[in-house]
Structures are given as structure tokens and as C-alpha cells.
Structure 1
Amino acid sequence: MRLALYQPDIPQNLGASIRLCAAFETDLDIIEPCGFPLSDKAIRRAAMDYGQCAKVSHHSGWEAFLDFRRDVLGAEARLILFTTKGAVPMTDFVFRPGDILLMGRESAGVPDDVHDAADARVFIPISRAARSINVVTAAAIGLAEALRQTNSFPVRD
């Protein structure tokens, strides 16, 4: 299971995502460009003391991420886009251990070509009165559901 952030805008959300992935022993992919300067030093600062236990990969752009997915992860790595325009509630979707959970930009989501590349598009059921929820909150909800379904939560000693 992996979490991927498409061109994140807010460094604090990146830091929270790194900590989330460290806590759930899930790899994190950052798809650039970001809306802020991204360096190893910035990632370490955002991750605080979770940096050593987080597995973070950054990709220079969407095409580089797709190449990584194809060449490194292989065909079983389905791309699952979390979107307010999703077709299936995440609770009705069947996740697999090799899935990549993709979150869009805080300011703009993802463009049509990214929507088209997704193997599935899911949404988190929320109140009709709410437009959306914070991207890290959505990532935590989605990742927890995917890990629950696949019985892949880390075992705490």
C-alpha cells in the first residue's frame, strides 16, 4: 500500500502525510512540482522525528511517477484516486494491498489526464453541506479504510 500526493501546495500537510505514512508503515510518493520549495532538508523539517521511519520518494512530475509505477511497482499497483468527483464511495470499493492511494492538490485537485489514468475513482462520504475535507484528513480516512480491508495495519509490539 502506498500514498501518493499530487503536487502538494501546503508544506504542513506534507509533514502530516509523512507522519501518517510513518505511523502506518506506508510508503509515500510526492509528485512534483510542489507549491513550495521541496528539498531533503525541508522534508526532514516537515517530518520532525518521523523522518527516519518514513519511506518517501519524490518524482519530478506526473510522467516520472507513471514510469516509476510501471517500471518499479508493476501491473498490480492500481492507482486509486480519492476525489470529490468519485464514482464509488470508498466504503463500497474493494482495496488491495498493492494499491496506490492518490490525493490531489489542496487548491485544485488533479487535472483530467490524472483522472483518466486512475484505475478507480472513489470518494469519502461526507455531509452534502460540506464541499470537501482537508487532504491529510482524507488521506488518513482512506488509508485507514484500505488497511482495514486488507488487514494490513502494522503490528505494534
Structure 2
Amino acid sequence: MSDPQMKVVIVTPEIPYNTGAIGRTCVALGLELILIKPLGFSLDEKAVRRSGTTYWQHVQLTEYDDWKSFLDDRKPAREALHFFEEHGAKSFYEPDYQEDAYLIFGCESKGLPDEILNGMQDRTFNLPMRNPVVRSLNLANTATAVIYQAMRTQLGG
């Protein structure tokens, strides 16, 4: 398999089942999964492997100690960064996702830290929800919806 272009980034994930499920989606689509520490669990936990089932061993996984280390190593172009937040400025349907896009998600309880989002309002997106009683969606569900929307043109849909 060639090196994946689009990448999924989770900043300080807390729930192993979500990370395992997102990892499984990454394997299915040939995407790299990048985790920014600290993690709220050990990657050796059964819960991660159970959610990723037998696919976890195939996840192209990269870990960084913090956001700055990620930026210093990857040096992503600003226009390649797509942040997903409950109160994002635009719908996730709006951008034209580049082949080398970074799809960035925060932890389950707090989302992305302000220090990461500062100055990135125009790069922050939300998933529309029709019923106001739902405050947010599960991280794994959100990531999967975003990944498929971002890859829509690449997948021929």
C-alpha cells in the first residue's frame, strides 16, 4: 500500500473504544492515525484492541508527546488543517478537503484546547445537528462521518 495522504489526528483521546473504532476506519481507508499525548488509556488495553478488532495491528499509528511536537515534525500547511468542534464556524460539508488534509479531533470531554484553536476559527468545522437536545456526537461517529465526507471525491462518491 502506498503512503496514506489524508491523516486523522486525535488530541488527548480519553476513551479507548473510540480510538479503536477510529483506528479500524483508518485501516479500512488506508489512512494514518496520529495520536497526541497524553492518552487517557494505554494502547495495550484490551478495549482498544477489541474496538479495532483484529485490525488494530494494521493501523498506521504515529504518536506525539504534544501538539508542538506534532507541528514541529509534520509542518502542515495551514490550509491542510481541519479542526472539528461542536461550535465550529462552518459545516463540515463546506471545505474542499485536500488529499493531504489533517482531520483533527479533540478529546471526548473537552474537545480541542483553546491554545490549538486560537487563530484557526476559519479552519474549524462542525457537524450539523437538527435537534438541540443533542449537545454533541460520539467521537468515533463524528470522526467516521468526517472521514467519509472528506474522502468523498477520492472514493468516487
Aligned twin of 2:3:
none
Pick one of 3, 8, 20 that aligns with 2:25: 20
1:66 aligns with 2:71: yes
Pick one of 121, 126, 134 that aligns with 2:124: 121
SS in 1 for 2:93: helix
Pick one of 31, 54, 63 that aligns with 2:59: 54
Cα offset, 1:53, TM superposition: 2.8
Consecutive aligned runs of 4 or more in structure 1 exceeding 6 Å deviation: none
Pick one of 142, 148, 153 that aligns with 1:144: 148
TM-score with structure 1 setting the length: 0.84
1:75 aligns with 2:80: no
Cα offset, 1:44, TM superposition: 5.2
Which amino acid counterpart does residue 78 of structure 1 have in structure 2?
A
Q: How many pairs does the alignment contain?
A: 149
Cα offset, 1:110, TM superposition: 1.3
- Structure 1 window deviating more from structure 2 (49-58 vs 7-16): it is 49-58
Gaps of 5+ in 1: none
Gaps of 5+ in 2: 1-5
Pick one of 95, 104, 107 that aligns with 2:109: 107
Q: Percent identity?
A: 32
Pick one of 75, 87, 90 that aligns with 1:88: 90
For residues 93 and 77 of structure 1, what CA distance do their matches in structure 2 show?
Answer: 10
Cα offset, 1:75, TM superposition: 3.0
For residues 44 and 133 of structure 1, what CA distance do their matches in structure 2 show?
Answer: 22
TM-score with structure 2 setting the length: 0.84
Cα offset, 1:14, TM superposition: 1.0
Which amino acid counterpart does residue 103 of structure 1 have in structure 2?
F
- Measured on the aligned residues, the alpha-carbon RMSD in Å equals 2.3
Cα offset, 1:51, TM superposition: 2.6
